[in-house]
């Protein structure tokens, strides 16, 4: 598969999605954590002493909320919008159209969401002042990237399996698994992406208090284990989506 | 070029293609059938978008479902509209060609040429959101042509085109056909196809009812019982006249006694007599529908022929 062709798909997808509506949603995603952190900063007088609490709040707001919201909007409907808009047939008629378009749309969704997350993290870290710092900024940005890569792969797969009622299925999955099961202190929560991200946060920030409190919901494995699991999960999910899309008869148009 | 061997396609319990067997060499062919007859199912089977439930599909001696590289040799203009509001035709067609693996430079060159072929050069840099239906239709045809396919499949390609656009498109398709591009042209309007080719496949209810030239199909229709419908408040008064005629197979009075369906072997007898009956008895008849004016009726006639009901 020619990587230049994938870049071509990404460029086309960004070009076609560069609309006022999309930019407005991107701006809301950026402003939402900034507004919350700014409000908390104004209300709290002991920012520096609560560095861990501020860090946890920023982690929850950005990699777990902003990234997931962005990906729900941009990764989940990647295939279903083409199917519903009856434009899928044009892409499916190209030699490698199905695979290239899927990967291109996946990377575009990661790009949109991760850029919103990184901009929001940058501004929030500045607002937090001494409670933030370069290390927190860097860790949250890396976690945002990993969150986007893994969650986008997950939502893309949901989108290819359930190309009707895609959004409902993805929201239901997120609430039940990523926000529900991930907080259950049991073996099952290791199957969630958020468990790995929390483990990495605790590992990289070296927060002993937070680590003790969140021992069972943040993972005790080394950072490399978490990273390898997240990247392997992302690759496996995208591969599963490609296979699913290659051998699925998607509706192309109204029967005539 | 195309081979279908006992191909059937089921959508759950609904049948989209029913035991299709056909072999087509290179050339131009029209697929004619009313809406919902299975034309698009056939096209989707030929382009590898659908896998046959039964039977075997082969295009250029390869299975289109398993061999997607084959798509490089096929161009499809689907019936569905395309709308990427803030992308120009030039960007979209270039992108479509690029997805076949051509270089960026070649993609741009080929897209420009195909857009010129469909008279879109002047508007190709405008966003597609500003296009009329006809301009979008031309753009769709350009994307089907742009990668220079050996087989061009067009599903209702005249949708949205004005008479000038239709004429230009007809000339383009004739030119492509003469240059050696094979054409498969689906439409529910017979005369649109007749301008481009005299070879037809007639499809109805997922079945291939007839194939051949226009005169061959006309002969089949002539040999098949046909139905004529008369509508008006006085149609029951025609029944005594019709009941005496040997050429009438059946008479049905429907729709609160205002619709009369007459089954006959040779409608010319009716055409000779009915005007006199109406005139002499001062009858009010509002509509006269013949099989020839109603494509569905033609297909109903062919379906009867397919079932072996013709003489």
What percent of chain B clears pLDDT 70, i.e. is strictly above it?
A: 88
Does A252 map to a domain? no
**For range B101-117, the mean pLDDT:** 93
Interface touch A93/B68, C-beta < 8 Å: no
**For range A123-132, the mean pLDDT:** 83
Residues B232 and B271 placed together within one structural domain of the fold: yes
Mean pLDDT of chain A: 86
Interface touch B79/A256, C-beta < 8 Å: yes
Can you say whether the dihedral through the CA atoms of B84, B85, B87, B89 is positive or negative?
A: positive
DSSP character string of B126-144: SBGGG--HHHHHHHHHHHH
Interface touch B95/A12, C-beta < 8 Å: yes
For chain B, the 3-state helix, strand and coil shares in percent, each to the nearest 5, are 40, 25, 35
**Kind and range of the H or E element at B165?**
helix B163-178
Does residue B277 carry a pLDDT above 60?
yes
Does residue B295 carry a pLDDT above 60?
no
Does residue A100 carry a pLDDT above 80?
yes
Number of folded domains that form chain A: 1
**pLDDT tens digits, one per residue of B191-203:** 777 778 878 888 8
Read off the tokens for A153.
């792969």
Instruction: For residue B299, name the pLDDT band (cuts at 50, 70, 90).
Output: low
- Which residue of B49, B81, B107, B128 is the best one to mutate when testing the A interface, meaning the one whose CB has the most A CBs within 10 A? B49
Q: What is the CATH number of the domain that holds B57?
A: 3.40.50.300
Does residue B109 carry a pLDDT above 80?
yes
Backbone angles phi, psi at A56, to 5 degrees: -65, -40
**pLDDT tens digits, one per residue of A178-201:** 888 777 777 777 888 988 898 888
Interface touch B79/A18, C-beta < 8 Å: no
**pLDDT tens digits, one per residue of B235-272:** 899 898 888 888 888 888 886 888 998 888 777 788 88
Cβ contacts of B156 on chain A, cutoff 8 Å: 256
**pLDDT tens digits, one per residue of B124-175:** 999 998 998 888 989 999 999 999 999 999 988 887 778 888 888 888 888 8
Interface touch A249/B87, C-beta < 8 Å: no
Read off the tokens for A226.
């978490």
**For range A45-53, the mean pLDDT:** 68
Does A255 map to a domain? no
Cβ contacts of B88 on chain A, cutoff 8 Å: none
Does A40 map to a domain? yes
Specify the pLDDT at position A253. Answer: 59
Residues B154 and B301 placed together within one structural domain of the fold: no
**Domain end position, chosen among B201, B220, B239:** B220
Does B123 map to a domain? no
Read off the tokens for A208.
């002993």
Does B93 map to a domain? no
Q: What is the pTM of this model?
A: 0.81
Read off the tokens for B129.
């959101």
Read off the tokens for B12.
């759950």
Interface touch B101/A255, C-beta < 8 Å: no
Residues B65 and B184 placed together within one structural domain of the fold: yes
Does B289 map to a domain? yes
Does A67 map to a domain? yes
Q: A19 to chain B nearest CA, in Å?
A: 8
Residue B134 CB neighbour total at 10 angstroms: 17
Instruction: For residue A143, name the pLDDT band (cuts at 50, 70, 90).
Output: very high
Does B170 map to a domain? yes
Q: B21 to chain A nearest CA, in Å?
A: 19
Residues counted in chain A: 256
Q: Write the CB contacts of B65 (distance below 8 Å, at least 6 apart in sequence).
A: B48, B50, B51, B52, B57
| DSSP code at position A77 | T
Number of folded domains that form chain B: 2
Instruction: For residue A23, name the pLDDT band (cuts at 50, 70, 90).
Output: very high
**For range A25-35, the mean pLDDT:** 94
**Domain end position, chosen among B220, B238, B271:** B220
Specify the pLDDT at position B149. Answer: 93
**Domain end position, chosen among B220, B245, B262:** B220
Cα separation values, B97 from B91, B101, B116, Å: 10, 7, 15
CB distance A229 to A196 below 8 Å: yes
Does B165 map to a domain? yes
ipTM of this model?
0.84
Instruction: For residue B209, name the pLDDT band (cuts at 50, 70, 90).
Output: confident
Specify the pLDDT at position A228. Answer: 95
Residues B296 and B232 placed together within one structural domain of the fold: yes
Residues B21 and B72 placed together within one structural domain of the fold: yes
**For range A225-234, the mean pLDDT:** 94
Domain of residue A140: give its range.
Answer: 3-10+21-246
Specify the pLDDT at position B297. Answer: 60
Q: Which of the given ranges, B22-26, B38-42, B72-76, B252-256, has the highest pLDDT on average? A: B72-76
Question: Of the candidates B39, B72, B86, which has its C-beta nearest A95's C-beta?
Answer: B72
Q: Write the CB contacts of A170 (distance below 8 Å, at least 6 apart in sequence).
A: A72, A76, A155, A158, A159
CB distance B305 to B209 below 8 Å: yes
Residues B206 and B280 placed together within one structural domain of the fold: no
Specify the pLDDT at position B108. Answer: 94
Strand B248-254 and strand B151-155: pairing?
unpaired
Q: How far apart are the C-alpha atoms of B46 and B13, rounded to whole Å? A: 21
Does residue B219 carry a pLDDT above 80?
no
Does B109 map to a domain? no
Alpha-carbon B306 to chain mean position? 19
Query: Where is pLDDT greater, at A246 or B212?
Result: A246
Read off the tokens for B45.
């089977």
Does residue B229 carry a pLDDT above 80?
yes
Does residue B294 carry a pLDDT above 70?
no
Residues B182 and B76 placed together within one structural domain of the fold: yes
Specify the pLDDT at position B311. Answer: 47
**For range A143-155, the mean pLDDT:** 95
Residues B268 and B231 placed together within one structural domain of the fold: yes
Instruction: For residue A252, name the pLDDT band (cuts at 50, 70, 90).
Output: low
**For range A85-89, the mean pLDDT:** 85
What percent of chain B clears pLDDT 90, i.e. is strictly above it?
A: 25
Read off the tokens for B170.
């007809």
Q: How far apart are the C-alpha atoms of B304 and B274, rounded to whole Å? A: 25
Question: Of the candidates A12, A95, A101, which has its C-beta nearest B71's C-beta?
Answer: A95
Interface touch B101/A5, C-beta < 8 Å: yes
Residues B165 and B291 placed together within one structural domain of the fold: no
Residues B36 and B153 placed together within one structural domain of the fold: yes
Specify the pLDDT at position A65. Answer: 93
**pLDDT tens digits, one per residue of B55-65:** 999 999 999 99
Residue of A nearest to B140 (CA): A90
Strand B2-11 and strand B151-155: pairing?
unpaired
Query: Where is pLDDT greater, at B229 or B194?
Result: B229
Can you say whether the dihedral through the CA atoms of A81, A83, A86, A90 is positive or negative?
A: positive
Residues B68 and B183 placed together within one structural domain of the fold: yes
Domain of residue B302: give its range.
Answer: 224-306
Sheet of strand B207-213: strand arrangement = B74-77, B151-155, B182-187, B28-32, B199-204, B207-213
- Which residue of A2, A93, A247 is the best one to mutate when testing the B interface, meaning the one whose CB has the most B CBs within 10 A? A93
| Contacts across the A-B interface (CB distance below 8 Å) | 96
Specify the pLDDT at position A85. Answer: 82
| Chain B residues with a Cβ under 8 Å from any Cβ in chain A | 16, 35-41, 44, 47, 49-51, 68-69, 71-72, 74-76, 78-87, 91, 95-96, 98-101, 104, 143, 155-156, 186, 188
Does A95 map to a domain? yes
Does A134 map to a domain? yes
């Amino acid at each position: 598969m020619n990587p230049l062709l994938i870049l071509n798909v990404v460029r086309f997808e960004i070009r076609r999605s560069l609309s006022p509506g999309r930019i407005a949603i991107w701006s809301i995603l950026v402003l939402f954590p900034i507004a919350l952190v700014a409000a908390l900063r104004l209300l709290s007088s002991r920012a520096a002493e609560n560095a861990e609490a501020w860090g946890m709040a920023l982690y929850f707001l950005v990699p777990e909320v902003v990234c997931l919201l962005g990906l729900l909007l941009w990764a989940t409907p990647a295939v279903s919008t083409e199917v519903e808009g009856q434009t899928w047939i044009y892409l499916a008629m190209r030699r490698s159209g199905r695979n290239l378009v899927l990967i291109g749309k996946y990377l575009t969704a990661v790009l949109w969401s991760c850029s919103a997350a990184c901009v929001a993290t940058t501004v929030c870290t500045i607002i937090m002042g001494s409670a933030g710092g370069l290390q927190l900024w860097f860790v949250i940005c890396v976690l945002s990237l990993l969150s986007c890569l893994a969650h986008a792969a997950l939502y893309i797969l949901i989108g290819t399996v359930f190309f009707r009622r895609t959004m409902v299925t993805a929201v239901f999955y997120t609430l039940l698994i990523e926000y529900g099961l991930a907080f259950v202190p049991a073996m099952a929560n290791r199957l969630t992406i958020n468990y790995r991200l929390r483990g990495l946060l605790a590992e990289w920030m070296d927060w002993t208090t937070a680590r003790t409190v969140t021992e069972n919901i943040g993972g005790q494995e080394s950072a490399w284990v978490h990273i390898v699991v997240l990247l392997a999960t992302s690759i496996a999910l995208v591969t599963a989506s490609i296979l699913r899309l290659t051998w699925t008869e998607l509706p192309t148009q109204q029967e005539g | 070029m195309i081979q279908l061997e006992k191909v059937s396609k089921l959508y759950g319990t609904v049948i989209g293609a029913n035991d299709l067997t056909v072999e087509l060499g290179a050339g131009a062919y029209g697929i004619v059938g009313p809406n919902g007859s299975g034309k698009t199912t056939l096209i989707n089977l030929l382009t590898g978008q659908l896998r046959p439930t039964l039977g075997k599909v082969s295009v250029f001696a390869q299975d289109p479902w398993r061999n997607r590289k084959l798509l490089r040799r096929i161009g499809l203009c689907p019936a569905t509209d395309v709308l990427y509001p803030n992308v120009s035709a030039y960007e979209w067609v270039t992108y479509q060609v690029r997805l076949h693996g051509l270089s960026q430079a070649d993609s741009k060159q080929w897209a420009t040429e195909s857009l010129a072929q469909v008279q879109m050069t002047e508007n190709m840099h405008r966003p597609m959101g500003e296009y009329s239906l006809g301009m979008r239709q031309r753009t769709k045809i350009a994307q089907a042509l742009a990668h220079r396919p050996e087989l061009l499949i067009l599903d209702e390609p005249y949708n949205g085109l004005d008479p000038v656009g239709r004429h230009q498109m007809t000339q383009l398709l004739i030119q492509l056909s003469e240059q050696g591009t094979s054409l498969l042209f689906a439409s529910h309007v017979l005369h649109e196809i007749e301008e481009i080719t005299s070879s037809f496949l007639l499809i109805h209810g997922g079945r291939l009812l007839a194939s051949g030239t226009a005169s061959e199909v006309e002969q089949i229709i002539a040999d098949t019982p046909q139905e004529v419908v008369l509508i008006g408040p006085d149609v029951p008064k025609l029944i005594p006249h019709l009941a005496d005629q040997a050429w009438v197979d059946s008479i049905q009075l429907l729709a609160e006694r205002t619709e009369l369906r007459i089954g006959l072997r040779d409608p010319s007898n009716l055409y000779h007599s009915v005007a006199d009956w109406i005139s002499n008895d001062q009858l009010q008849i509002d509509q006269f529908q013949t099989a020839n004016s109603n494509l569905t009726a033609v297909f109903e006639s062919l379906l009867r022929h397919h079932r072996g009901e013709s003489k």
